[in-house]
Amino acid sequence: CGLVALAMASQEYTKPVSVSQLLAEARVRGFTQHGEVYSVDFMGTLAAEHLPDHRPEILVDLQACPDTLTCALNHGAMVLIPYDSDFNHAPCLKRGHKAHWALLVGLISS
């Protein structure tokens, strides 16, 4: 689902990339066998190449800088974020055993 999220993000640019193109490239580079991409670094590499107008920034600990995500989204950034998915698809902590990727494109604030 990381490749799908990245392909979705690329639709905002002049040269969008398809999931099949990303999958082929990720396989050649040894990033995946069946489409799963667990490494943030690998996703960052693919994003840097296919979203050339925007240099990806990898944040390791959002708890250390909680305003960074909010600020980025408020300024129109798209954010690829890895998470574990619980039985009801809500985010949870499963040590990467239920890994998924989300494409965040905005936020709702009250």
Q: Name the residue ranges covered by the structural domains of the chain.
A: 2-104
d(CA 38, CA 24): 16
Dihedral-angle region of residue 36 (phi above 0 means left; psi in -120 to 50 means alpha; beta otherwise): beta
User: Which pTM value belongs to this model?
Assistant: 0.84
Q: What is the mean pLDDT of residues 99-110?
A: 88
pLDDT bucket at 110, cuts 50 / 70 / 90: confident
What's the residue count for the chain? 110
Task: Given the residues 1, 65, 71, 92, select the one marked as catalytic.
Answer: 1
Q: What is the mean pLDDT of residues 97-108?
A: 88
Active site residue 1: yes
